[in-house]
């Protein structure tokens, strides 16, 4: 850019000098000298820019070589660590039994956590039903965000549990569906109240109940984000997420499309 600017300036000066051709012969040597000086300046600027670009390229190549060497060193260290682990395992008495005991302990802790969640499921659902009932009776939203967050957690637990039980017998799956029926009823009641509030948006604006509008929109946005994350995880094989409850909950999540429903309800109310 600097070289182009200098060339344009030199051209402009040359045009100005040639506006009066009467004294062209007398001033021609001076013009040639000035043009040569301008050209030399442009050449110098071009060389400087070229040198800077070459220096940047050299630094980039050097950085890539260092990164490649560092990656190779990390791979070598990991291979050495893996070999040491295998060697140490061979030197420890009953190593395979210890591994099995450790895995059994981990499975036991996971099973214990699931049992505890099942034990708390009914009481948590009943508590949330009471909070939602309070909001519904007052046509309010004081408990809306809390109920929504807890409901999301419980639905994730249900989805993970049902997915992991897919290989179990039909009697086990039927029992699980029965256990989760109150949760499904709670989710349906929550959505019904949410959309009732959405239909009343204009009235809420008139009565300046802006906090309720904010809570409704926050829930819609949260569900949209969860839908987006679920759509990213969905193409993955469920088996790859089996050991990660959070990923499995996303992979088994049912897309809700709250934003579309929200605007449909608004149009319905306005129309």
How confident is the model over 132-145, as pLDDT tens digits?
999 999 999 999 99
- 261: tokens are 């429903």
Q: Are 54 and 47 in contact (CB under 8 A)?
A: no
Rounded to whole angstroms, how far apart are CA atoms 166 and 252?
12
pLDDT of residue 223: 93
Query: Residue 109 above 50 pLDDT?
Result: no
CA distance readout (Å), 82 to 165, 234, 262: 35, 33, 53
pLDDT of residue 106: 47
- Span 179-197, mean pLDDT? 94
pLDDT of residue 65: 74
How confident is the model over 39-95, as pLDDT tens digits?
777 667 767 766 776 676 677 677 667 767 776 777 776 776 666 555 555 555 554
For the stretch 27-35, contacts whose Cβ atoms lie closer than 8 Å and that sit 24 or more positions apart, written own/partner, are: 35/10
Rounded to whole angstroms, how far apart are CA atoms 198 and 263?
9
pTM: 0.57
Instruction: State percent of the chain over pLDDT 70.
Output: 64
How confident is the model over 153-173, as pLDDT tens digits?
999 888 888 888 777 777 878
Q: Are 46 and 1 in contact (CB under 8 A)?
A: no
């Amino acid at each position: 850019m600097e070289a182009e600017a200098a060339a344009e300036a030199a051209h402009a000066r040359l045009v100005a000098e040639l506006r009066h051709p009467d004294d062209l012969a007398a001033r021609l040597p001076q013009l040639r000298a000035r043009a040569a000086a301008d050209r030399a300046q442009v050449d110098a600027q071009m060389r400087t820019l070229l040198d800077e670009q070459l220096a940047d390229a050299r630094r980039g190549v050097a950085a890539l070589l260092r990164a490649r060497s560092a990656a190779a060193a990390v791979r070598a260290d990991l291979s050495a660590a893996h070999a040491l682990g295998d060697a140490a395992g061979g030197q420890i008495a009953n190593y395979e039994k210890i591994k099995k005991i450790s895995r059994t302990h981990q499975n036991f802790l996971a099973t214990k956590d699931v049992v505890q969640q099942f034990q708390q499921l009914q009481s948590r659902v009943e508590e949330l039903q009471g909070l939602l009932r309070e909001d519904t009776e007052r046509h309010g939203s004081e408990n809306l965000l809390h109920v929504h967050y807890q409901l999301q957690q419980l639905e994730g637990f249900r989805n993970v549990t049902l997915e992991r039980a897919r290989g179990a017998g039909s009697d086990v799956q039927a029992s699980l569906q029965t256990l989760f029926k109150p949760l499904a009823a709670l989710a349906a009641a929550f959505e019904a109240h949410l959309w009732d509030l959405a239909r009343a948006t204009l009235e809420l604006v008139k009565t300046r109940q802006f906090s309720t509008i904010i809570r409704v929109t926050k829930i819609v946005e949260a569900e949209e984000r969860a839908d987006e994350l679920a759509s990213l995880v969905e193409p993955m094989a469920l088996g790859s997420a089996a050991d990660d409850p959070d990923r499995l909950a996303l992979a088994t999540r049912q897309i809700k499309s709250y934003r579309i429903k929200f605007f449909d309800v608004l149009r319905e109310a306005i129309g």
